[in-house]
Amino acid sequence: MADRKATNKYYPPDWDPSKGSINTYVGQHPLRDRARKLDQGILIVRFEMPYSIWCGGCEKHIGMGVRYNAEKKKVGMYYSTPIWSFRMKCHLCNHWMEIHTDPKNAQYTIISGARRREEHYDPADIGLPVLQDDEQKEKLSTDAFYKLEHDTTNTLRAADTVPHMTQLMRYSDKTSKDPYTLSQTLRRHFRNDKKEREAEQRQGAAIADKHSLLLDILPASADDDISAKSIEWRPAPQTVDEKKNRVHASSIFQTARPSKRTRLLTCSTSTSLKSKPSPSHVLSSSSSPSTLVSTLAAKVRPKADPFAVPTTSSDRTISSSTHSHVNNNSSRRRSSSTNHAIASLVRKRTADDTMPPSVAATTGAPVMAAATIALVCGDYGNSDEDDDNDHR
């Protein structure tokens, strides 16, 4: 817009060149609103903050490079160089700040309204060349020994930077020596990666469409495999209506709740014959995202690590916990083997009951009373699965 101010002007019909410029005819300064205080020697300019400061009014930080509409005014002279004053208002509050130029030191000085943020550092620490002042220049020109020491120091510093410069040159040659080959390699890798990404997106979209999910399916990872292996599928808990229907459908001649010893027989046999529901069957039963979420929340639980030992601060406690853990594992294995033996005996007992007496006498099948089986179960205890059923 600024480049069109000199040409895109409206000239009224009563104007002619004898009346001067259009600005004089209209009574407007060429700088327009920037020259509203020109009678006071003040010109409005864009001033950029030379360094970071702290505002004296709101105590907020103002970074280097922030620009303001400042009032520029001449306040003095340093020999033949004018000293300019820049007065501006903070953009975070209504506090005024004033900064002067310092031709002697070639910098800016804060006069009022703010304070400078101290960020001094030694240029030599970061590898920048140090400018020589007048005193050092005079000493180099008059003192031969000082000049020799100065040149030796510069030579050693240059030798120290050679490995770093060599490393930069090698990196530059590696990245920009043959741009055509580098571009060809980059584009080839990009095409291969693009095909893999598109295949993963199609696979994820197919899964989302199959289960009516409004989510972006991410590609599989090693963490997903670990999480999937740590999930145990279980039947969903029955609702109140389902429990009522099961009670109404049961026989009215059912006896009291069987004891723990009797339930050992049915628990061991049903556990060995029962198969776990597959995840695909659970997911296929869902008809909406909300149903899928509720089904997964009801039928999924994390597996417990049977070999996890709790960490304590005492070595004695650790050893005792480890010892008890080993005993629990051995008893669990003994209970599991006992249950399998009991299940086989029950199946054999059932076969003997259905077998004719003549065949049983011929084969010599053993006859074992149910009380003996219950006694064995009571001696060796139950498995973890029956304990879980009791808690439920």
| φ and ψ of 127, to 5 deg | 85, 15
Give the largest CA-CA distance in the chain.
Answer: 143
What pLDDT is stored for residue 311 in this prediction?
Answer: 53
Q: What is the distance in angstroms between the CA of the first residue and the CA of the last residue of the chain?
A: 79
- Pairwise CA distance, residues 27 & 309, whole Å: 92
Neighbours of 295 (CB within 10 A): 15
| φ and ψ of 321, to 5 deg | -65, -40
What pLDDT is stored for residue 91 in this prediction?
Answer: 92
DSSP 3: G
* pLDDT tens per residue across all 392 residues of the chain: 555 555 667 788 888 888 888 877 777 787 888 888 888 889 999 999 999 999 999 999 999 999 999 999 999 999 999 999 999 999 999 999 999 999 998 899 999 999 999 877 776 676 676 777 788 888 888 889 988 998 898 888 878 878 888 888 888 888 888 888 888 988 999 999 999 989 988 988 898 888 888 888 888 888 888 888 888 777 767 788 888 888 887 877 755 555 555 555 454 444 444 444 444 444 444 445 566 666 666 666 666 666 665 555 444 444 444 444 444 544 444 444 444 444 444 444 444 444 444 444 444 444 444 444 444 444 444 444 444 444 44
What pLDDT is stored for residue 21 in this prediction?
Answer: 82
Nearest to 343 by CA among 258, 274, 270: 270
Q: Is 27 left (phi over 0), alpha (psi -120 to 50) or beta?
A: left
Torsion of CA 359, 365, 369, 374, to 10 degrees: -130
pTM listed for this prediction: 0.34
